[in-house]
């Protein structure tokens, strides 16, 4: 934290009180020592834990509070896509490995299809399991089967569909945090079956017979440790397991938290820290760029804009993100600047640029 006479050379976004509202916050860090590790932070995932900590839901938050975390990422893994693995990914990976849910040919049920659920489906398929998704919403069927590759989809409120699945599953990962009955799901487990609870409903109730008959197990799990995370990261890199994300600038953090509460995200928000901060510096007097001469500022602007566009194009190519909107005119301007920066001998008509911009889903700066 900053102190009198110490230069505030770091920038984060902090909550100052239990309202949870995030805003820019300058602070200082001590000089990196010989036994320290300097870490470059490029992206940060957004999950419900950020809501809980910034709004003091557990009663032990200390303000100002800057949420977030970082970890070593395999070189061949996209940084933006790695962020959700450190929360949603490790939360479901840990109990799956603990209970040996990585046995090809066995069956897995996934309750809920949010940030945790969609990662459970991806891990299940990578492990060679037959995956069934359970949801109260039929609208999730298309994405469960065609986008995520689940084998079956069941509307959990449909008693006939649930009865048809009786004693068919070896494992169940329960990611739902809303209150829901447990007995119907326990009846879907085979003898010796395991239900791992990673969601946080207000209560867990089931009859003793649901547990005792069939020698079933109910296990709770919160997240994973530092020994498990590198193994999970390496597994995801090797198997090309990528979360579905919505990439956002840091200025959108408060809106993202509100949308997260409303479950309005598919499937995880990721803050583009590096490009957000660079774009905030573009052309601002008194900023790092503002202190340079005009030519240096233009070069810096071109490089920053180029990085934004290149990052977008890479993510767009693997069809894994949606990005907070910018006007089409601004997209045309950005593409024009990038083209003039890297291809000075090629002249593109404005109609071509407009056509290209119309193909770009959404971008931010």
User: For position 361, what pLDDT does the model report?
Assistant: 44
Residue 128 per-residue DSSP state:
T
- Looking at the structure, tell me whether residues 269 and 288 fall in a common domain: no
User: For position 133, what pLDDT does the model report?
Assistant: 98
User: For position 336, what pLDDT does the model report?
Assistant: 53
Q: What is the CATH number of the domain that holds 192?
A: 3.40.50.720
- Looking at the structure, tell me whether residues 251 and 200 fall in a common domain: no
Q: Residue 60 domain-assigned?
A: yes
Q: Residue 236 domain-assigned?
A: no
Domain that holds residue 163: 88-222
Residues 6+ apart with CB under 8 A from 160: none
- Looking at the structure, tell me whether residues 115 and 196 fall in a common domain: yes
- Looking at the structure, tell me whether residues 11 and 69 fall in a common domain: yes
Question: What residues form DSSP beta bridges with 26?
Answer: 11
- Going by C-alpha positions, the residue among 192, 173, 174, 167 that lies closest to residue 102 is 173
Q: Residue 239 domain-assigned?
A: no
Q: How far apart are CA 132 and CA 153, in angstroms?
A: 6
- Looking at the structure, tell me whether residues 193 and 96 fall in a common domain: yes
Question: What residues form DSSP beta bridges with 27?
Answer: 10
pLDDT in tens, the chain (365 residues): 444 445 667 888 899 999 999 998 998 888 888 998 888 888 889 988 889 889 999 899 999 998 876 877 898 899 889 999 999 999 999 999 999 999 999 999 999 999 999 999 999 999 999 999 999 999 999 999 999 999 999 999 999 999 999 999 999 999 998 999 999 999 999 999 999 999 999 999 999 999 999 999 999 998 888 899 999 999 999 999 999 998 888 888 899 999 988 888 888 999 988 887 766 544 343 333 333 344 444 454 444 444 445 545 544 444 444 444 445 555 555 555 544 444 332 334 444 444 544 554 444 33
- Looking at the structure, tell me whether residues 105 and 71 fall in a common domain: no
DSSP string, 161-208: HHHHTTT-EEEEEE---S---SHHHHTTEEEEEEEEE-S--S-----H
Strand, coil or helix: what is 110?
Answer: strand
Residue with tokens 């995932």: 45
- Looking at the structure, tell me whether residues 97 and 217 fall in a common domain: yes
Pairing of strands 189-197, 22-27: unpaired
- Looking at the structure, tell me whether residues 92 and 79 fall in a common domain: no
Q: What is the CATH number of the domain that holds 48?
A: 3.90.180.10
User: For position 165, what pLDDT does the model report?
Assistant: 97
Q: Residue 117 domain-assigned?
A: yes
The count of domains in the chain is: 3
Contact 51, 65 (CB under 8 A): no
- Looking at the structure, tell me whether residues 107 and 189 fall in a common domain: yes
- Looking at the structure, tell me whether residues 321 and 206 fall in a common domain: no
- Looking at the structure, tell me whether residues 215 and 98 fall in a common domain: yes
Q: pLDDT tens digits, residue range 162-174?
A: 999 999 999 999 9
In the chain, helix, strand, coil percent, each to 5? 40, 15, 40
User: For position 39, what pLDDT does the model report?
Assistant: 82
């Amino acid at each position: 934290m900053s102190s009198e006479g110490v230069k505030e050379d770091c920038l984060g976004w902090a909550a100052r009180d239990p309202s949870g509202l995030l805003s820019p916050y300058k602070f200082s860090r001590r000089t990196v020592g010989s036994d320290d590790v300097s870490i470059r932070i490029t992206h940060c995932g957004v999950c419900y834990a950020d809501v809980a900590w910034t709004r003091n839901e557990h009663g032990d938050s200390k303000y100002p509070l800057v949420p977030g975390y970082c970890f070593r990422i395999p070189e061949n893994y996209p940084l933006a896509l790695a962020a959700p693995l450190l929360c949603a990914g490790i939360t479901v990976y840990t109990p799956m490995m603990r209970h040996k849910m990585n046995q090809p040919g066995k069956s897995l049920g996934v309750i809920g299809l949010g940030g945790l659920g969609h990662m459970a489906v991806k891990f299940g398929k990578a492990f060679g399991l037959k995956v069934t998704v359970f949801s109260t919403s039929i609208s999730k069927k298309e994405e469960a089967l065609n986008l995520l590759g689940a084998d079956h989809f069941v509307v959990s409120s449909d008693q006939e569909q649930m009865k048809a699945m009786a004693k068919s599953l070896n494992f169940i990962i329960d990611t739902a945090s809303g209150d829901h009955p447990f007995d119907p799901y326990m009846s879907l487990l085979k003898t010796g079956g395991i239900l791992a609870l990673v969601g946080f409903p207000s209560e867990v109730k089931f009859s003793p017979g649901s547990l005792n008959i069939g020698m079933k197990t109910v296990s709770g799990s919160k997240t994973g440790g530092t020994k498990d995370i590198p193994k999970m990261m390496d597994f995801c890199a090797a198997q090309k397991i990528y979360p579905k994300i919505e990439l956002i600038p840091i200025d959108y953090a408060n809106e993202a938290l509100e949308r997260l509460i409303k479950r309005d995200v598919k499937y995880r928000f990721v803050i583009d820290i590096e490009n957000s901060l660079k774009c905030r510096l573009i052309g601002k007097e008194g900023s790092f760029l503002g202190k340079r001469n005009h030519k240096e500022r233009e070069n810096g602007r071109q490089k920053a804009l180029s990085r934004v566009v290149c990052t977008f194009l890479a993510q767009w190519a693997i069809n894994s993100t949606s990005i907070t909107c910018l006007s089409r005119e601004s997209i045309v301007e950005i593409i024009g600047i990038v083209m003039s920066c890297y291809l000075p001998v090629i002249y593109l008509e404005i109609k071509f640029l407009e056509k290209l911009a119309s193909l770009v889903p959404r971008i931010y700066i």
